[in-house]
Amino acid sequence: MANCLFVVLSLSSASLCHGACVEVDSDTDAVVSEGFKLGCISCKMRGEVPAEATVEWSFMPKGESEFTKVREVRGGGQDDIPDERFYERLDWNGSKKTKDLQDGSIYILNVTWNDTGTYRCIFNRTLTFTSYGFHTDVTKIVHLNVVPRRSATATPLIIQQITVNDS
Ligand SMILES: *[C@@H]1O[C@H](CO)[C@@H](O)[C@H](O)[C@H]1NC(C)=O
Ligand SMILES: *[C@@H]1O[C@H](CO)[C@@H](O)[C@H](O)[C@H]1NC(C)=O
Ligand SMILES: *[C@@H]1O[C@H](CO)[C@@H](O)[C@H](O)[C@H]1NC(C)=O
Ligand SMILES: *[C@@H]1O[C@H](CO)[C@@H](O)[C@H](O)[C@H]1NC(C)=O
Q: Which of 14-18, 21-25, 77-81, 152-156 has the highest mean pLDDT?
A: 21-25
For 62-120, the pLDDT digits (tens) are: 999 999 999 999 987 788 888 889 988 999 999 999 999 999 999 999 999 999 999 99
Q: What is the pTM of this model?
A: 0.77
Q: Which among 77, 78, 124, 80 has a CA at the least distance from the CA of 97?
A: 77
Q: What is the CATH number of the domain that holds 86?
A: 2.60.40.10
Q: Which range of residues forms the domain containing residue 135? A: 22-166
83 CA → ligand 3 middle, Å: 14
The preferred substitution site among 110, 112, 114, 115 for testing ligand 2, maximizing ligand atoms within 8 Å of CB, is: 110
**Is there a domain that residue 32 lies in?**
yes
Percent of the chain topping pLDDT 90: 59
82 CA → ligand 3 middle, Å: 18
**Is there a domain that residue 117 lies in?**
yes
Q: Ligand 1, closest atom to CA 91? A: 5
**Is there a domain that residue 17 lies in?**
no
For 129-146, the pLDDT digits (tens) are: 888 888 999 999 999 999
